[in-house]
Structure 1
Amino acid sequence: MVMAEFSIFPVGKGESLSPYVARCTKIIRESGVKNELHAMGTILEGEWDEVFGVIRKCFEELRKDCSRISLTIKVDYR
């Protein structure tokens, strides 16, 4: 079981990042992985592959139209 807190956002896309956040939020909610969204990021809880699969999907979604992406991940494995 893994708990991962992550934040992801494009760099150089201006002040309003809400459209990008919304795209990732949709992926997270549709994943079925237990999650908790908060002001500074998201906590995912589940098996390693499913948790990192969600993070990868968020990254791939932003990569479609973002040349720079900031991604921070903290993991607690138990």
Structure 2
Amino acid sequence: MSVLMGISIFPVDKGESLSSFVARAVETIQKSNYPYIVTPMETVVETESIEEALRLAEECFKALEVDCNRIIVNIKIDYRKGKSGRIKGKVESVQKKINQPLNTV
């Protein structure tokens, strides 16, 4: 089983530049040892269960709650039975279909 969670989390009471707060959430995800990828708009992480994904989202929230009075959290969940390694496999599948690597920075 595989759960892909796209999470975007940031405070709205800390000004214009929020990367230090986003970095806290990414550090939380990094410490979890789940596979993940950071994109400009969200971080995608792969867990084995919905419970693990939601627990991780809560840990990210708690990392910001310490000194943030207002926090926005957007979560997308993609659940699929019988599959794993989808964080990498989904990208590779598209690359094969267009016969070239995807445009990356």
Scaled by the length of structure 1, the TM-score of the pair is 0.91
The one-letter code matched in structure 2 to 1:76 is D
Unaligned segments of structure 1, at least 5 residues: none
**Structure 1 or 2: more strand by fraction:** 1
| One of 48, 51, 54 as aligned partner of 1:52 | 54
| One of 56, 61, 66 as aligned partner of 1:64 | 66
Q: Alpha carbon RMSD of aligned pairs, Å?
A: 1.0
Partner of 2:14: 13
Scaled by the length of structure 2, the TM-score of the pair is 0.70
- Determine which structure has more spread, i.e. the larger CA radius of gyration: 2
Question: What is the aligned-residue identity percentage?
Answer: 42
**4+ residue runs over 4 A deviation:** none
Whole-angstrom CA distance in 2 between matches of 1:67 and 1:75: 26
Provide Cα deviations, 1:26-76, integer angstroms capped at 9, x if missing partner: 111111111111000111111222222211111011111111100001111
Whole-angstrom CA distance in 2 between matches of 1:53 and 1:35: 15
Whole-angstrom CA distance in 2 between matches of 1:43 and 1:25: 10
Unaligned segments of structure 2, at least 5 residues: 81-105
Confirm or deny that 1:39 pairs with 2:36.
Answer: no
Asked which structure has the greater RCO (Cα within 8 Å, sep 6+), the reply is 1
Whole-angstrom CA distance in 2 between matches of 1:28 and 1:76: 17
